[in-house]
Chain A
């Protein structure tokens, strides 16, 4: 979010300094599974902004003069029983009314596109729109152009204090004692955005949801598309419906996601765990992902996985990002809380925020994303 916002701000002629606490892509960007996924999104502002973000990616793929690893394999959500089928049919219908190009496939059509999946699946969805992009290349593309437009980038420079001064400007202090002054500050600290907001007395309720992912060696295409399972989606859409998910998998928040990455490795995930700010992978998590993957796509049993990664999704109480200026601290903006949609929504977030900061007419759709809605709400307490 920081790099995207910096890019769009420098395009509008602003002088921008990024103070990065860790290294390049140290937060969620570095643990992301690359997906610009439409099918998982409930109709509403998230889906609408994802459409706009995809348009921006098409433009950026040209404007940034850098290969962003954009691929458009499309995606299928695998369905294993009648109950899931009914719920997914209804969900697909809603998404279609919202303009998403998505259809239901019967078993025969599903197996034509995905011949290697387990016999347990009875149907699937299919959307040609689901796409993907490499987060490091996106960040690097933004960085490279913005740097030529004057962006200053400091890594390993954690911010320890932000003070609003009498003249309205901000005084920002870093861990090493350096001090910077700015008229506007963007809090794009992802999962750690609550900590930064607290420095100016504001409430940004972000709860980390850990996601573990395993990465395979490079292998040929498995079927035509990327894959997800309906199981997790259904448990989110209709929590009252009884599912056969084991307690262990429930605690891990295990869902199935299978993405062919830039370079030919597959990224297979993932978990959604409440583990505080712990970014380690666990044997239980990796084990569960591996077993699930083999049971869904049996030919994977002889494939190697070469790495397991984990990162924290910044989640909000209402599942929508936090974007905009803080009413009580003029000039202080937050862009966080994208949960698993960071890579999908990064360009549109940066674009909308830079427009706001440069005084563009306000966009009434964005009111529901404003940090004002959480001014008095406390985040879920973790640990």
Chain B
């Protein structure tokens, strides 16, 4: 893939999972109109960063396309771990005790 994006719809919204604006808009148009719904259909936000940057962008795209309130769309569940953790962290924790 060349660095230059010819069609603005090909711009990557979720870089971890390489999901384009086009794919996200298609999902929204099929009725998947929450951040969580879009994630389930396109994998946007399922990658290494767990949607820390793209979920806000996706919320904005949904708001623009559906007229929904952006505040309402940004409510999402955060679960442990909030950042990627190494497996060995638990063993290390114990050795410090």
Question: How far does the Cβ of B95 sit from chain A's closest Cβ, in whole Å?
Answer: 13
**B36 located at the interface, meaning its Cβ lies under 8 Å from any Cβ of chain A in the complex:** yes
Chain B: interface residue total (CB-CB under 8 A): 25
List B residues 23-50 near A (Cβ within 8 Å).
30-32, 34, 36-37, 40-41, 43, 46-48, 50
Complex interface bits, A270-283 against B, C-beta within 8 A gives 1, otherwise 0: 00000000001101
Is the beta-carbon distance between B36 and A23 smaller than 8 angstroms?
Answer: yes
Report B71-96 CB contacts with A as 1/0, cut-off 8 Å.
00000000111001111111100000
| Interface-lining segment among A4-12, A87-95, A221-229, A290-298 | A290-298
Could you say which of A25, A30, A291, A306 contacts B50, with CB atoms under 8 Å apart?
Answer: A306
Residue A300 lies at the interface, judged by CB distance under 8 Å to chain B: yes
Q: How many residues of A contact B (CB 8 A)?
A: 31
Select A305's contact among B30, B31, B36, B85, beta carbons within 8 Å: B85
A265 to B13, CA, bound (A): 20
Residues of A contacting B50 with CB < 8 Å? 306-307
Q: Does A318 have its Cβ within 8 Å of any Cβ on chain B?
A: no
Kindly identify which residue among B46, B79, B88 contacts A301, using a CB–CB cutoff of 8 Å: B88
Q: Are A24 and B40 in contact (CB under 8 A)?
A: yes
A25 x B40 contact (CB < 8 A): yes
Number of A-B residue pairs, CB cutoff 8 Å, is 71
B88 pairs with A306, CB closer than 8 A: no
Residue numbers in B under 8 Å from A1 (CB-CB): none
Measured between alpha carbons, how far is A309 from B85 in the docked complex, in Å? 15
Tell me if B37 and A23 are in contact (CB < 8 A): yes
User: Chain B: which residue is nearest A22 at the CB level?
Assistant: B36
Within the complex, which residue of A24, A25, A153, A301 is in contact with B86, where a contact is CB–CB below 8 Å? A301
Contact residue among B34, B36, B80 (Cβ-Cβ distance under 8 Å from A281):
B80
Given A23-B34, A263-B43, A291 and B84 touching (CB < 8 A)? no
Can you list 27 contacts pairing A with B, beta carbon distance less than 8 Å? A23-B34, A23-B36, A23-B40, A24-B40, A140-B41, A155-B31, A217-B84, A263-B46, A280-B79, A281-B80, A290-B89, A293-B87, A294-B87, A294-B88, A294-B90, A301-B87, A302-B86, A304-B87, A305-B84, A305-B87, A306-B50, A306-B84, A307-B50, A307-B79, A308-B79, A308-B80, A308-B81
Question: Which residues of A come within 8 Å of B, CB atoms?
Answer: 23-25, 30, 136, 140, 144, 153, 155, 217-218, 263, 280-281, 283, 286-287, 290-291, 293-294, 300-309
